[in-house]
Amino acid sequence: MREDRQSDVMDPARAAALQVALGLEPTISDGSALPPFFHQLYFWSPRAPSDLGRDGHPRVGIGLIPDMSLPRRMWAGGRLHFHTPLRAGAEAERHSVLEKQSRKAGRTGPLGFVTLKHEIWQDGALCVTEWQDLVYREDPALDEVKPTPPMARRDETERREVRFDSTLLFRYSALTFNGHRIHYDLDYARDVEGYGGLVVHGPLLAQLLMLFAEEMAGPLTRFSFRATAPLLHFETATLCRNGPDLWVRGPDGRQCMQAEARSE
């Protein structure tokens, strides 16, 4: 089984910078409990330019991700268990494994599926268990008909509009050390991967949903999410909640992400 271990200090300045980027007051200092999912800001894995793929990510086959000979990467979803809060200013360790991989035939060609499992420990305690689901696929054909995305529910009891722009996407990419060019290189996103604009990070949408859920119902113990359609940088989206169910609705009513949050 492929494994990896990394340690990192939970720098409060980095967490406060994300708060500012999201339009929040920078409240995090040494000893503060980190908000859920802020561990995405840490455990960077920098690679030399020669070890990067065309999309700006580390080339598959290096590290935990196997090479399935499929060039397009998408973070399809994930599941998180929050056991105890991570604390800013202290060192933590992440234990990562390649939990499973598979290859299947999809409607538009072959698909590769990868699940990574991470455990994050601090001061001898398990703080977070996370599963990341990644999908790899072929480049889009010139005549490819894009699937019709599902339409989002309209029965939310709480909602919040959120706006994006290229500056926010760049700042989030920088804070998470995410080199994927679909988030900041418009020509690449449009001409190579076939998107109509820069793509809002799936984890950024999940982050906003987690903060929204925690604000409405208290500290999270579990959260799961699945991306269902891309959201572009010039689009206004609506964060929606009804009990434990959350989703992101695009401006045309399509569902971009669905999620479930638990606070017990």
User: Do residues 82 and 128 make contact, with C-beta atoms less than 8 angstroms apart?
Assistant: yes
The rounded distance, in Å, linking the Cα atoms of 85 and 243 is: 23
- The pTM of the full predicted model, rounded to 2 decimals, is 0.94
Taking the C-alpha atoms of residue 115 and residue 123, their distance in angstroms, rounded to an integer, is 27
Instruction: Place 53 in a pLDDT band, splitting at 50, 70 and 90.
Output: confident
pLDDT per position as a tens digit, 71-101: 888 889 999 999 999 999 999 999 999 999 9
pLDDT tens-digit map of 239-248: 999 999 999 9
Contact 66, 114 (CB under 8 A): yes
Are the CB atoms for 146 and 174 separated by under 8 Å? Answer: no
- With residue 137 as reference, give the H or E element that holds it: strand 125-137
Residue bearing tokens 């572009």: 232
92 in Cβ contact with 42 (< 8 Å) = yes
Q: For residue 218, which of 11, 29, 8, 36 has the smallest C-alpha distance?
A: 36
> What are the residues whose beta carbons fall under 8 Å from the beta carbon of 32, sequence distance 6 or more?
12, 15, 87, 88, 89
Lowest mean pLDDT among 67-71, 76-80, 141-145, 205-209: 141-145
Tokens read off for 253: 């009513």
